[in-house]
Amino acid sequence: MLISETRKGDLAIFGEAIIWALFPIITILSYANIAPIASLAWSSVFLVAFFSFIVAARGKIGEIFIPGVWKYIPLITIFISILYYSLYYVGLKYTTAGDASIIALMELFFSYLLFNVWKKELLSARHTFGAMLMILGAVIILYPKQGLVFHGGDFLVLLATACAPIGNFYQQKLRKLVSSETIVFLRSLGAIPVFFVLAAILKVNAPLVAIQKSFWFLALNGILILGVSKLLWMEGIHRISVTKANALSSIAPLFTLIFAYFILHQAPTIWQLTAFIPLAGGLILLTDNKI
């Protein structure tokens, strides 16, 4: 049975969500020996090394010279690789893995503003209601604990979510010209010097011994989480709307809470568990029934 392009997009986003659920946990574990910006810098080195091989092996090097590529790459690099990841990485230093993943759901709200209010991208009533249920789930989790007041790391993660939709808008356009692996490679390559300069300014460059201690966390973050998961993300938004993709990926906090329980020994609260009722309902509404 043939699978529709829409369903392929749904499945790609589901796969991305499960892998991305590990991002806050692996990143926090790397902080035992290395500062956030240094962790991001070295994770990006692993990412670029891996994808340079992928791009070469798949014969995609020529895509770098396609007219129009460099119209979008600087903007994608700024909003995704630099602003989004820098804010998220530093934010994780001052909040929990579960809280960060839940606050990240606000990316859906900012995507809705960009793609549906400004760009007037079509989203059905079914999908709109599903998106509202997703946001309700985030409210249920945040209100009992914080009264919807964002503090420290939470606020930085929130700012990160406001940057992501702009980068996704340009990634969606560029994906029509080149492959996902080329986009990940170029945007990450351009960001590495910025990360190391920023680490030097903040005086948080990691010594070799610290890098060795966090080697597997940095490699896993760079190759699997920042790399493979984002390939799935771009393949997804190439087939479905960014707003819908953000809503579908909102299942990630559930897996983050599960992983955090077993890896970080952080038990989920009753409010967090209750919130997944509307989250699950929204997920069902946002997934097309037809294959």
pLDDT tens digits for range 257-286 = 889 989 988 887 787 778 778 877 776 776
- Give φ, ψ of 37 to 5 degrees: -65, -40
- Give φ, ψ of 2 to 5 degrees: -75, 145
What is the average pLDDT score of the chain? Answer: 85
pTM assigned to the model: 0.84
The pLDDT tens digits for 106-133 are 787 787 777 666 666 566 777 778 778 8
pLDDT of residue 242: 78
pLDDT of residue 281: 78
pLDDT of residue 114: 76
Distances from the Cα of 251 to the Cαs of 35, 56, 180, 200, in angstroms?
28, 34, 23, 37
The Cα–Cα gap between 107 and 52 comes to: 29
- Band the pLDDT of 143: cuts 50, 70, 90: low
